[in-house]
Amino acid sequence: MKRILVTGGAGFLGSHLCDRLLADGNDVICLDNLFTGSKDNIRHLLVNPYFEYIRHDVTEPIQLEVDQIYNLACPASPIHYQYNPIKTANTSVLGAINMLELARKTNARILQASTSEVYGNPQIHPQPESYWGSVNPIGIRSCYDEGKRMAETLFFDYHRQYDVDIRVIRIFNTYGPRMNPSDGRVVSNFIVQAIRGEALTVYGTGTQTRSFCYVDDLIDGMVRMMETEDFLGPVNLGNPEEFTMMNLAKKIINLTGSNSHIVHAKLPSDDPVQRQPIIDLAMEMLDWKPSISLDDGLQRTIAYFRKIL
Ligand code: NAD
Ligand code: UDP
């Protein structure tokens, strides 16, 4: 049994990760300031003696005895990370430093939840890990993109300078049950709008693309990366099937059987035009690839939102 800290553990991905780590027989500490996460996501775990919840902000140091740290604490959707951009940058950078210091003191292995946003608006398509990205350093997404890039830098410097045992994953758009219905991400927005019979808001022409990974697949890749030896990453984790936002809107209208129609709204600035991971490295080093199709994953996510709305 390992003692595992999950920062951001009351969020969408973090709560699924806590479920998985407990099911694998570990002792899990969930640390979260509940900015975008919710106790509802971990309510079912609070009775488990091998689960503890700590309300704490990763921008402040903390002392705990742990064997592994998954660092997920950070608002992830554009409306939430742009709400207080300076706080977002602090969360990524100070959060990384505080968790890396904890890893250094306790000799814990530490995994950083980085993002496809480090590639910015990519000039190379699809994106391999070797691509250094095309990021606007002064735009409205920069607090998140550059914060995550700096966190990656800190991880590799702590490894080189202090020999901290790091792992870095770059997560591409992931969706599933427990997404925050009001965080403005495209999958949750479209499903909520379709269920409520409201118009689906496609930003711009809807020709921009994303590749969507179901949460269970992503968590499996994340745990494999933490458990692998002699491979630090960064490694892309995502589903390489690519869809336009217009395709996605139509698919969700079909799957929900909704009468909603589609309206176009203003495209936010710096919205990446295309996004698709190359996952050869994850297949080779982790023997991992996603197994849940978009249709199947959307059905499961729609069933969840029907229950909570
Ligand atoms: P989420 O918003 O549901 O989860 C983030 C969690 O971090 C929330 O519970 C929030 O309350 C907590 N948090 C935020 N700031 C904090 C702080 N200062 N101190 C302590 N806790 C704090 O988002 P998610 O989709 O679960 O994302 C989890 C991680 O994965 C994030 O780091 C995100 O950048 C990364 N990621 C997610 C995706 C995706 O598609 N879901 C893609 C790329 C990267
Ligand atoms: N998007 C959209 N309608 C919405 C929400 C988002 O068309 O109601 C678009 C958004 O402009 C982007 C894509 O969907 O091109 C994915 O957005 P999301 O915020 O989910 O993720 P990210 O842009 O961070 O990849």
Q: What is the pLDDT of residues 4-54, one digit of tens each?
A: 999 999 999 999 999 999 999 999 999 999 999 999 999 999 999 999 999
pTM over 0.95: yes
Please work out whether the CB of residue 202 comes within 6 Å of at least one atom of ligand 2: yes
Cβ proximity of 176 and 212 under 8 Å: no
Number of the ligand 1 atom closest to the C-alpha atom of 36: 11
183 within a domain of the structure (yes/no): no
What token pair was written down for 167?
A: 């792992």
Please work out whether the CB of residue 112 comes within 6 Å of at least one atom of ligand 1: no
| Amino acid sitting at position 201 | T
Please work out whether the CB of residue 277 comes within 6 Å of at least one atom of ligand 1: no
- Cα distances (angstroms) measured from residue 150 to each of 61, 74, 189, 269: 18, 13, 30, 22
Residue 13 CA, ligand 1 centroid: distance in Å: 7
202 within a domain of the structure (yes/no): no
Catalytic residue among 119, 144, 175, 214: 144
Nearest CA, atom 41, ligand 1: 174
At 172 the pLDDT is 97
Cβ proximity of 43 and 49 under 8 Å: no
CATH number at residue 7: 3.40.50.720
141 within a domain of the structure (yes/no): yes
CA distance 262 to 246: 9
What token pair was written down for 290?
A: 């996603």
Number of the ligand closest to the Cα of 148:
1
Number of the ligand closest to the Cα of 206:
2
Flag whether pLDDT at 270 surpasses 90.
no
Query: Could you give the number of structural domains in the chain?
Result: 1
CA distance 285 to 280: 9
Question: Which residue stretches of 12-77 are H helix?
Answer: 12-23
At 68 the pLDDT is 98
Instruction: Give the end-to-end CA distance of the chain in Å, rounded to a whole number.
Output: 37
160 contact partners, CB below 8 Å, separation of at least 6: none
Residue 100 CA, ligand 1 centroid: distance in Å: 17
248 within a domain of the structure (yes/no): no
- To test the pocket of ligand 2, the residue of 36, 116, 186, 215 to mutate (highest count of ligand atoms within 8 Å of its CB) is 186
Give strand pairing partners of 237.
Answer: 171
259 within a domain of the structure (yes/no): no
Flag whether pLDDT at 88 surpasses 90.
yes
301 within a domain of the structure (yes/no): no
| Residue 220: domain span | 3-174+214-238+278-291
179 within a domain of the structure (yes/no): no
164 within a domain of the structure (yes/no): yes
User: Residue 291, exposed/middle/buried by CB under 10 A (0-12, 13-18, 19+)?
Assistant: exposed
Please work out whether the CB of residue 151 comes within 6 Å of at least one atom of ligand 1: no
